[in-house]
Structure 1
Amino acid sequence: MMSTSVFIRHVTQPGERETVHSIWERHMAPNITTNGDHEAYFYCFDDNNQDVIVVYQQYTNAESAASFLQTPAYLAYLQEVEPYLMGPAEVTAASPIWVKKTS
């Protein structure tokens, strides 16, 4: 089975990026750390826009990416974070074609 990548762009309400990050840390970081299906995860602040968060995720396969969206932690995160976002995230799924080996 092939890995799948997900690129996510969140736009927060003005000045609420740190609030969103705090909610993410509480709900998501512990679950991502222990999720064996996350091969890579980068949670980033946009350097050019104080209200944008950019995320890169790599999962073992598309099914694991889809099932993660149904976990209690993700659903709790969504419910708490939505008031601080301008709207739904921009999400792009992609299939890795080439990956640099680091070992």
Structure 2
Amino acid sequence: MHALLVTHRTKAGQRDAVEAIWRQYMRAAVAENTGHLLYAYNFGTDPDVIAAFQIFASQEDAAAFLRTPGYAAYLAESRDLLAAPPDIRPLIPRWIKAGGDLTDLVAP
């Protein structure tokens, strides 16, 4: 398993416009991507921050998704509305709770 925390800082007041672009390109791309085990699209308490927390089946699935046409189209169209390029932080899940079950991913 592999996780990413992707943070987007929009230019002032552009968060809703960026979300509209996300809905146009990314919603279907995420829904169709079998490598995604979890995808949570979030607004931060800062009015210009969007964060996407994602869990993938593997690191290769994560890297492949970031190369998809949907993600490329999203970046191209939202680029002028972002204050900076997305901050992409890889994470290594140690344990998760999903569907009511707590699962250790590594030996304690």
Give yes or no for TM over 0.5. yes
Alignment of 1:7-86 (within 5 A): 7-46=5-44, 48-86=45-83
CA drift at 1:101: 4.0
- Superposed CA deviations along residues 64-89 of structure 1, whole A, max 9, x for unmatched, are 11011111111111100100000111
SS in 2 for 1:100: strand
What's the TM-score, normalizing by structure 2? Answer: 0.88
SS in 2 for 1:55: strand
What's the TM-score, normalizing by structure 1? Answer: 0.92
Contiguous gaps of at least 5 residues in structure 1: none
Aligned partner letter, 2:87: E
Within the candidate set 78, 92, 106, 1:95 is matched to 92
- Computed over aligned residues only, the root mean square deviation of the Cα atoms, in angstroms, reads 1.0
SS in 2 for 1:70: coil
Aligned residue pair count: 100
